């Protein structure tokens, strides 16, 4: 039997090109997440114009730095120069950001070549310099947080990385439990987080390879922390945060994955994406999210096979009409015994 923990803090981890404000808004409506973080805003050597911050965080303009459901959205900055990072952090807080997150974990080669993201992990002192400068530029009541990995191409500095962020005054640290060179290849080395925490005062959040409630329990056991940042796992399973809360004795939430209405979610996700950036964007995003969902359910895998060959946005309505009809029929037939995991549909030849 799994140990019952108190209600955890759950953060939505940023994912470049995936977790835009549309998806953040929908996930916040499902509930279970305490805090969200934007895709990274690239900082070079100057103060960015306000429209850049509004592009990545429409919540600043629309709802006071929170989602429409009231979940705070921290703005994530990525850069290697303390001065410009501090200047931009101060500005985004003036625009209403409830917190600033610093990206020291992005493994993208282009980002790293331009002195950003995980590149700074080679020299932990640089994490201190950037974090300290931002902390000094932002009012004390506004959290400054950091996202890191265990190192760049080795884990020898993992404790120094934690020390640099802690001693610079960060409010908390999110640790993606892999190095830059390990990218997203399993497993996540959660046990290193336990080592990083020794002698540290700031809260730690564990991140990486948390796809299910069982993964969450293993992560807590190995890392020693119950606070987590969910990224791909929550995109693939939108109810995961609520499921984790349910097993952690948080009586304020209860929603099983079998109660999730995928058609309603997909329709609204597509509608909002089209409104945000047009029909082509809406179709691309629909394909993207169903690719993630296909990891969990055979039914969603079939839907992904159908939607991935659609080239014209006009076909989307036909796609929705088909899956809605089939899903309703399957629910009626299997609702009382098998549940959604057993549902299958036949894919028509014109897809």
Which residue, 98, 94, 85, 3, is CA-closest to 47?
85
Per-residue pLDDT, averaged over 295-320, amounts to 93
Backbone φ and ψ of 10, nearest 5°: -120, 125
What does pTM read for this prediction? 0.90
How many whole angstroms separate alpha carbon 131 and alpha carbon 102? 8
Q: How confident is the model at residue 255 (pLDDT cuts 50, 70, 90)?
A: low
Per-residue pLDDT, averaged over 53-79, amounts to 96
pLDDT in tens, 167-193: 999 999 999 999 999 999 999 999 999
332, with CB counted inside 10 A (0-12, 13-18, 19+), is exposed
Contacts of 299 (CB under 8 A, 6+ apart): 327, 330, 340, 341, 343, 344, 345
Which residues are 147's β-sheet partners? Answer: 103, 174
Angle 207-208-213 from CA coordinates, rounded to 5°: 85
How many whole angstroms separate alpha carbon 292 and alpha carbon 270? 15
106, 219, 248, 330: the catalytic one is 106
Q: How confident is the model at residue 345 (pLDDT cuts 50, 70, 90)?
A: very low
H-helix or E-strand spanning residue 242: helix 240-247
248 is catalytic: no
341 pLDDT more than 50: no
Which residues are 41's β-sheet partners? Answer: 77
Query: Parallel, antiparallel, or unpaired for β 204-207 and 228-230?
Result: parallel
């Amino acid at each position: 039997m799994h140990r019952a923990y108190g209600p955890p803090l759950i953060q939505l981890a940023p994912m470049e090109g995936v977790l835009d404000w549309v998806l953040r808004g929908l996930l916040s409506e499902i509930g279970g997440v305490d805090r969200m973080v934007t895709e990274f805003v690239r900082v070079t050597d100057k103060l960015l114009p306000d429209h850049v911050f509004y592009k990545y965080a429409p919540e600043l303009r629309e709802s006071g730095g929170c989602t429409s459901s009231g979940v705070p959205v921290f703005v994530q900055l990525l850069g290697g120069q303390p001065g410009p990072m501090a200047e931009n952090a101060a500005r985004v807080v003036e625009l209403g950001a409830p917190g600033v997150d610093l990206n020291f974990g992005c493994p993208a080669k282009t980002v790293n070549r331009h002195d950003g993201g995980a590149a700074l992990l080679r020299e932990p002192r640089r994490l201190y310099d950037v974090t300290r400068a931002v902390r000094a530029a932002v009012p004390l009541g506004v959290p400054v947080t950091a996202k890191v990995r265990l190192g760049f191409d080795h884990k020898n500095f993992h404790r120094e990385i934690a020390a640099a962020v802690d001693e610079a005054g960060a409010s908390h640290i999110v640790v993606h439990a892999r190095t830059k060179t390990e990218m997203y290849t399993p497993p996540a080395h959660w046990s290193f987080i336990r080592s990083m925490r020794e002698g540290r005062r700031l809260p730690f959040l564990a991140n990486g390879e948390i796809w299910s409630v069982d993964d969450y329990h293993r992560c807590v056991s190995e890392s020693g922390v119950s606070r987590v940042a969910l990224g791909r796992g929550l995109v693939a399973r939108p109810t995961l945060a609520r499921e984790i809360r349910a097993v952690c004795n948080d009586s304020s939430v209860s929603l099983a994955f079998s109660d999730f209405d995928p058609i309603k979610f997909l329709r609204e996700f597509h509608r909002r994406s089209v409104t945000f950036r047009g029909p082509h964007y809406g179709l691309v995003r629909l394909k993207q999210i169903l690719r993630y969902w296909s990891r969990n359910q055979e039914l969603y895998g079939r839907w992904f096979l159908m939607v991935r060959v659609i080239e014209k946005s006009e076909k989307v309505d036909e796609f929705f009409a088909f899956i809605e009809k089939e899903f309703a029929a399957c629910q009626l037939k299997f609702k009382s015994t098998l549940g959604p995991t057993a549902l299958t549909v036949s894919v028509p030849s014109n897809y």
